[in-house]
Amino acid sequence: MVLRVLCWWAYHNDYFNFRVEELESLASMCGWDPSRLWSEEGGCPRPSRQEELAFAYVHLPDESTASRIVDRAITVKAFVEVWGEGSTYDEVLSDAQRRFPPDKRRTHLNETTTWAFQIAGFGKTFTHGEKVCRMNHFRSLFTEKEPTDINNPTTLLYILEDWAHSIEFMSASQRAKEPRKIYLGRAVARPRKGPWWLRYDLTCRPVLGPTTMDNELAFLMANQAQVRAGNVVFDPFVGTGGLLIAASHFGGVCMGSDIDIRVLKGWGVARLNKEVQQPNDAHTTIFRNFREYGLPAPEVICSDNAAWVWRLPSIEDGPPSLPAQRKHKHTPAAAAAESTSTSDSWSSPHRRSIARRTLPWMDAIVCDPPYGIRAGARQAGHLKKNKKPLKERGREECLNGGGDSTAGLFDELVESYTIVKDLMYFASVALVDGGRLVFLLPVELREADLDEQLEVVRHHPELELLATSLQFLAGGLGRVLVTMRRRRREQG
């Protein structure tokens, strides 16, 4: 029997738009078709990115699946079996008495099981007196013989209020006067402890780099990649290894590369975290954090992903020759069109024959490519298309205040398509069938069309686009978390 439960999402200003995609990825990882989470007819519509919802109904196969998702998710707080709902407490009580009569409630509330209330709100905090008042409203649901256990109850009952999200500068008259919805229900799955990922938080990480990946985002990306124990996970722009720490936590066999030997060796780029007590002989190499957390150290080499050195079994004649880089109009859309046409040329019979003769060995590629100025300093590849004459390297001056700033912004975005093109080609060769490529792509949100900027990842012949999650940044910019999957290779 399929369960209809309420998903309670954690509100995160930076990653709230990632919540639906993470839930779908983890459901798929647990063997549940993501499309079965949602059903308009079954009262479980899929939330849109524009909807600021902290609660949504979903379909799950059983409580065990719900627990597995909550144990790993960053954005899911709990799943709740709703007993009653409404816009007022009288409506909720009446609904609970109708849907869960005494004989049905006794399954979870009786003399042999302990219980407790937990009260929470989205866009609302409660005083102790307000909490007591809300709990007393449901006194009639109990016989007063059921034992309570505040710390570790067998049955945890949630009272949840969904208020419109208030902004700090709103006046009292602008704030909502009543909740949009009130829920009473039993916790089907909830975290056993507090946020487990805080152990890896950057504030307590021994070694940090100039662009260390945010801790929560690293685990979100590992969930999108569906990293399992024993999976081979590769980060071609590893830096100080923030993404591989998340993958290693889930049991991944981690590998990485980076063109900047200074970061890998800790030479003047990585730094010791002053908030953490350090031994006298503390070093700043990439492996330090792994040792501190008791995680296996990754295998790391210094190399350029544009001219990768990985041995791919059974390849005889190497990567296909690349077409000469054409001049493009000074817009991201034009660059995307060029990238798409180049991708089409790579899907030639010659390339397909290489893919067939290759024995792929990576289960996931997870990375944050170095776009813009970072990319300009990291292109040492032998491939002709990556050797840029000095006259074409004007974007650094633009981004630093020289020349037209808008042109500099577009140059940075254009650069991203070249890097993404290299990354997708490598992923199409190295990933096993069904393996996932997860990476961040910068986008411009003020004037450029977002769909046009995503064209570079929409029509790849060998990689299927699964999800895009948008994060808003300052200055009219953003970045998209892209999740792709290697299609099944042709046989023979």
- State how far the alpha carbon of 187 is from the alpha carbons of 1, 158, 183, 406, in Å: 18, 7, 12, 51
Closest CA to 285 of 253, 317, 247, 256: 256
DSSP line for 23-91: HHHHHHHTT--GGGG-BTTTTBPPPPTT---SEEEEEES-HHHHHHHHHH-SSEEEEEEEEEEESSHHH
Is there a contact between 79 and 8 (Cβ–Cβ < 8 Å)?
Answer: yes
Q: Average of pLDDT values for 320-342?
A: 41
SS3 label, residue 289: helix
Closest CA to 81 of 184, 191, 7, 5: 5
DSSP 206: S
DSSP 212: P
Domain range annotation of the chain? 3-194, 197-313+323-486
Closest CA to 246 of 236, 259, 233, 257: 233
Is there a contact between 158 and 78 (Cβ–Cβ < 8 Å)?
Answer: yes
The dihedrals phi and psi of 406, each to the nearest 5 degrees, come to: -65, -40
- The 10s digit of each residue's pLDDT in 110-154 is 999 999 999 999 988 999 999 999 999 999 999 989 999 999 999
Q: Average of pLDDT values for 84-92?
A: 97
So what's the pLDDT on residue 349? 52
The residue ranking higher by pLDDT, 177 or 147, is: 147
Q: Answer whether residue 380 shows pLDDT above 50.
A: no
The residue ranking higher by pLDDT, 370 or 411, is: 370
Q: Look up the CATH architecture of domain 197-313+323-486.
A: 3-Layer(aba) Sandwich (3.40)
d(CA 10, CA 78): 9
pLDDT band for position 325 (cuts 50, 70, 90) = very low
User: Which two three-digit tokens encode residue 485?
Assistant: 């999957």
So what's the pLDDT on residue 395? 35
Give first-to-last CA distance, the chain, whole Å. 42
Q: What would the CATH number be for the domain defined by 3-194?
A: 3.30.2130.30
Highest-confidence segment of 11-15, 53-57, 349-353, 375-379: 53-57
Q: Average of pLDDT values for 394-416?
A: 43
Q: Answer whether residue 337 shows pLDDT above 90.
A: no
The residue ranking higher by pLDDT, 383 or 488, is: 488
Q: Answer whether residue 438 shows pLDDT above 60.
A: yes
C-alpha 434: how far from chain center: 18
Contacts of 237 (CB under 8 A, 6+ apart): 257, 258, 305, 367, 368, 369, 370, 378
Least confident residue range of 66-70, 163-167, 226-230, 452-456: 163-167
Least confident residue range of 155-164, 304-313, 396-405, 461-470: 396-405
Burial category of 292 from C-beta neighbours within 10 Å (exposed 0-12, middle 13-18, buried 19 and up) = middle
Whole-number average pLDDT of the chain: 83
What is the percent of the chain where pLDDT is above 90?
60
The residue ranking higher by pLDDT, 400 or 469, is: 469
C-alpha 466: how far from chain center: 13
The residue ranking higher by pLDDT, 336 or 7, is: 7
Separate counts of helices (H) and strands (E) for the chain:
16, 15
- The 10s digit of each residue's pLDDT in 295-317 is 999 999 998 887 777 766 654 44
pLDDT band for position 287 (cuts 50, 70, 90) = very high
Crossing angle of helices 405-430/332-346, nearest 10°?
20
Long-range contacts of 321-327 (CB under 8 A, 24+ apart): 322/383, 322/384, 322/385, 324/384, 324/385, 325/384, 325/385
Residue identified by tokens 């969930």 is 223
The residue ranking higher by pLDDT, 51 or 318, is: 51
d(CA 302, CA 480): 27
pLDDT band for position 100 (cuts 50, 70, 90) = very high
SS3 label, residue 220: helix
d(CA 443, CA 437): 18
pLDDT band for position 404 (cuts 50, 70, 90) = very low
SS3 label, residue 438: strand
Closest CA to 74 of 21, 22, 5, 8: 22
Count other Cβ atoms within 10 Å, centred on residue 17: 19
So what's the pLDDT on residue 58? 97
d(CA 22, CA 71): 13
Q: Average of pLDDT values for 402-413?
A: 44
So what's the pLDDT on residue 223? 98
pLDDT band for position 166 (cuts 50, 70, 90) = low
